[in-house]
Amino acid sequence: MSRVVTAFSIIAAIIAYSFFAAFAIRNESSELISITEEIKELNKINDAVNADAAAEKLTEQWYDFEKKMSIFVRDDKLNELSRAVSKVRPYITDANDELNAELENIDRQLWLIYRSELPTWYNIF
């Protein structure tokens, strides 16, 4: 009987961990996406000073996100996203046309990280 209780306890812990990870990733991703949206709006009105400040905020928030999410997410996904985030500030200072594409790439990668960590049937089996 104790084996059954132990097995169900382990399964319950795994399920709880999965849902906690999904909610943590969703909340952190939402914050980063809101900052990318702010940068897009500032870039649209050609406000490079405030866009650069928002990009600095994005970078700081990203490093916090990366530390927290390294527990849940594989390093290759985080490294790819880290490269994309590191390009934002130089694109703003150089007035590069690829800024919006890079911000869309960041949004998409955050969404993919969230979807890959969501405890759904196709992610488990």
Q: Above pLDDT 70, what percent of the chain?
A: 96
For residue 38, give the nearest of 106, 114, 125 by alpha carbon: 106
pTM summary value: 0.81
Place of tokens 């590069």: 96
> What residue segments make up the domains of the chain, in order of their start?
2-124
Query: Two tokens at 97?
Result: 């046309």
Cβ atoms of 18 and 119 within 8 Å: the answer is yes
Per-residue pLDDT of 39-82, as tens digits, reads: 999 988 888 889 899 999 999 999 988 888 888 788 888 898 99
State whether residue 54 is helix, strand or coil: helix
For residue range 7-17, list pLDDT tens digits in order.
Answer: 999 999 988 88
* Multiple choice CATH, 2-124, 1.10.260, 3.30.160, 1.10.287, 1.20.120: 1.20.120
Identity of the residue numbered 72: F
